Structures are given as structure tokens and as C-alpha cells.
A and B are shown apart, each in its own frame.
Chain A
Amino acid sequence: MVDVSQHELVPDHSIVDEDVLDDVLEEYNIKKTDLPKIKRTDPATPDEAEVGDVIKIVRNSRTTDQAVVYRLVVS
């Protein structure tokens, strides 16, 4: 299959480490389940990601240069 991450519409997806994640959740004062979701089967989800992991997505934003968002992996 084609390498999805090479497509210009697909931003960088990477798995967030547990301790970094705690800082993020604390900053926004939310629970992990409040994050937007991404499917485990999503073509852009990193292969080693499991349900419950959080994916960090760095978009080229139209309004700021780069926007960082997080998505929780769900089944």
C-alpha cells in the first residue's frame, strides 16, 4: 500500500509519552477521554499505537504556523 504519511493532507502523527501526556492534560485541565478521538484502524495512526494511547498531531495551520492537537486512540 501507499505510504499515507507522505501525502500532503496528512500531518505528522506521533505517540505521546505517558509523562508528557500528564503535563498536557494538566495544562488544559481535562481527562484523557475529553480529547478528540482517532480510530485504531485509521490509516494515519502509527502502527505501534494501541487503544488508550494519545497521538500528537502537528498540523500546518492556516491561522498559526503550526498547530498541535491531540487525539485519543479508540477502537
Chain B
Amino acid sequence: MTRANVTDDIEAIVEDTDLPRRLKDDVYSTIEERDVTVEEADQIAKAVQSRYQETRVDPLDPVGTVSAQSIGEPGTQMTMNTFHYAGVAEIDVTQGLPRLIELVDARKTPDTPMMTVHLEDEYATDREKAHEVVWKIEATRILALGDISTNVADMLVQIDLNEETLMERWPTVDQVEDVAEEIAETIESKLAVQTRQAGTMIEFGPEEPSYRDLLQLVEELREVVFKGIEDISRVVIRKEETDEGEEFVLYTEGSAFGDVLGIEGIDASRTTCNNIHEIYRNLGIEAARETLINETMHTLEEQGLDDVNIRHLMLVADIMTNRGEIESIGRHGISGNKESVLARAAYEVTVNHLLDAAIHGEVDVLEGVIENVIVGKPVQLGTGDVDLRMGASQD
């Protein structure tokens, strides 16, 4: 790669430094602006390099402890109670401390799962097309389609479907009767009953006349999903500004990341969700790590605590994904899998750990921080790791 505005000499000097790409680029742009000589460029590069090396973490620095403090202190300022708020697109999202705890605990399902669904091509620009995708995702239950009434005299459940709603939600079907037929078939297979359908009216009843069975059928009917994905209860459509103009973005309440990725019209390269386990299952450990960092940083930013350095969150995410799967921070995850008995016992359920260790004859080599604090030895960090000996001879 050659740069237009700097000489080969300067480029050789800068490329020779021990700097990361981004800093090198910064050095180039500074040099270009100031019109400097080769000697000056050399001085600039040297100065930047020494500054960069100074700010690096020293060997034996307790980065984990520093991270814990750096996330813990702002954590004390976060909202304790789950204030659901109508933020982006009026969807309730858990935030603040509960969300942060949820993330580091690696809960299987978040309190408020949600997805951000991006669309591709004409689906992103055409509102009608975008709505087509919405109906494919959002779970459609019977109450959204028409009115149910129970006829106790004839022991029948009667459904009066709304014609307009049907045409809106099944945009690809031309005839209302076809949709009604499809709905009737779904009811037959899900509830195991015989239905009679005429126009937009559907009626069915229990095999034996029984008031209890009739009510039971109505209850079950309410839960049947006729279209869309069961876990997604609501979809909000929003127009957003991008670099290339405007596009429609969908926000969903509830998530089914794997199912959604396969749906036509969805941009499977940008769609995300806030459940790290779903990301891990569908996109792998690296994507899960990325999402963890994004979500933790976002949670902190939301609370105005954006001056937490991203490196701390990256470290947390690195540790949580170190074994190739998501581990929580705590008794069942990272802390519970520590080698040292004393370290585990110091965390939670002390007696159980000590008892188990005694039964199995475990040995503690006293290498970690906690063990050494317990036994009162210098911790093997920083200067504590270095043994100094005085030389016998003097010269």
C-alpha cells in the first residue's frame, strides 16, 4: 500500500513502528497536514510509539480486578428497579442494573427478549412489502381476525371473521374464502374437531354436548397461532435514516432469531436480537461475544455511564466465551470452575466446597489471588510476583 501524500522514506519510518493500524493512519494524516521533513516525521513516529508503549498494560497488572472495579462502581449508580420505558419504537426493554445482571449471569432467556429485524431490497423501502414481512413474523391469534361467540343452545363456537383483516394479513391470497378455509383447517388440526365453514363464518362444537368442553375449546382456540411465529407477540415498524436513504426496520417483542433468519425479505446479515444464547446457537461464539459487548456497553450508555472503557467489557466478554460456549460469571460459571478450592470456597457455599474437596483429596497450589489473601502470603501480581535476591559479591 502506497500513500499519495507521503514519501517512501516517511512511509518506511511509520510502518516500522510498533503501532496498530489506526494509530499509524492517524500519524499519516498528521504528517500530511503539517508538511514535515523526514527527520521530523521520524521524531513524531518515535514520540507516538513511546507514548503508546507507556499506556499499555504492564506485565502482571491485575486487569480482571481493575475491570471488576471499573464496572462495579458505575453499577452502584444504576437504577435498581426495572423501569420499563417506551424507548425505541415503544417496546419495553429491561435496562439498568437488572439487565446488566442478566447479561453477566448469562440467563437462558432475557426478561424482555426482542429483535431488531432489518429488511433487504424492496422490502426495506416499500411499506406494503415491509408489512408482508410483519405478518409473517407476528403471531396472529383468532382475536385479531374476528369475533368469537359461544352458542350454548346448539353447543357451538361461532367465529365471524373480519374480511378486511383477512385480506390485509394474507396479502398473497386473492379470495377471502380461501383464507377462511385455511383457518378452518388449522382449527381442525390443532383442536381435533370438525368445522363447518361458509363464507367468513366458521362454527364447530365438542363431540358430546358438554358445557365444560365448549368453554375449553374457546380457551384453546384463543391460543392457536394462525400465522407468524408463536414467540413474537408484537412487531413495530419504523422508518429509519441510513447513509443510503430511508429504510424500514422492524422491532419485535419476543424473539425467535433462528426462525426469522430464514424468512424471505429479511436481511440475514444485519438482523440481531438481545438474547446472547440465541445468537450463540445461530451465529456462533464470536458473534455471541460481540453481542455481549454491544449489549453491556449499550446498557451502561443508556444510564449515562458511557465513560466506562470498552476494554473492561471486552475482557468480561472474552472470559465468558473463553471455553467456546457462554459461561456465566458466578457460582455456576467462571467462579465455580476455578482450579483452586479456597478460591471457590471463598465465593459462595463455602462448606460444600471444602467438604467435597476433603472427600476427593484436592490440593491447592496457592497460585491465585484469593488463596494467597486467605493464607496471608504475598499475592503473585505486580511486584509480588518478583523475587529479589541480593548478590553475594560486590564489584
Task: State the A residues within 8 Å of B (CB).
Answer: 1-4, 6-11, 13, 36-39, 42-45, 57, 59, 62-66, 71, 74
Contact = CB atoms under 8 A, between A and B. Distances in A.
Given A2-B261, A65-B21, A10 B324 contact: no
A59 B286 contact: yes
Interface stretch (B6-14, B36-44, B82-90, B276-284): B276-284
Instruction: Select the residue from B269, B272, B324 with max chain A CB neighbours within 10 A.
Output: B324
Interface in B112-132: none
Interface string B275-311: 0000101111111001101000000000000000011
B212 interface: no
B262 interface: yes
Contacts of B314: 62-63
26 contacts: A2-B261, A2-B262, A2-B268, A8-B269, A8-B270, A9-B283, A9-B290, A10-B284, A11-B290, A36-B318, A36-B324, A38-B286, A39-B324, A42-B285, A42-B324, A43-B283, A43-B284, A44-B284, A44-B285, A45-B284, A63-B310, A63-B314, A65-B20, A65-B21, A71-B324, A74-B324
Secondary structure dominating the interface of A: loop
Given A65-B20, A65-B22, A37 B287 contact: no
A13 to B, nearest CB: 7
Contacts, number: 80
A74 B285 CA distance: 13
B242 to A, nearest CB: 14
Contact of B21 (A6, A62, A66): A66
Given A1-B262, A9-B290, A65-B21, A38 B285 contact: yes
Given A6-B268, A44-B284, 8 more contacts: A4-B282, A7-B270, A9-B291, A13-B286, A38-B284, A43-B282, A44-B286, A63-B310
A7 B269 contact: yes
Given A6-B269, A65-B21, A42 B284 contact: yes
B279 A9 contact: yes
A65 B282 CA distance: 26
A56 to B, nearest CB: 12
Q: 9 smallest A-B Cβ distances: which pairs?
A: A44-B284, A37-B324, A65-B21, A64-B20, A9-B287, A42-B284, A2-B268, A43-B284, A39-B324
B323 interface: yes
A64 B287 contact: no
A57 B284 CA distance: 12
A7 B323 contact: no
Nearest to B322: A36
B186 interface: no
Secondary structure dominating the interface of B: helix
Contact of B283 (A10, A36, A59, A66): A10
B195 interface: no
A2 B20 CA distance: 34
A20 B262 CA distance: 37
B325 interface: yes
B321 interface: yes
Contacts of A2: 261-262, 268
Interface in B14-30: 20-22, 25
A7 B287 contact: yes
A7 to B, nearest CB: 5
A38 to B, nearest CB: 5
A3 B285 CA distance: 15
A64 B20 CA distance: 6
Contacts of A9: 272, 279, 283, 286-287, 290-291
B333 to A, nearest CB: 15
A29 to B, nearest CB: 13
Nearest to B261: A2
Given A2-B261, A38-B324, A64 B291 contact: no
Nearest to A57: B286
B323 A37 contact: yes
A30 to B, nearest CB: 14
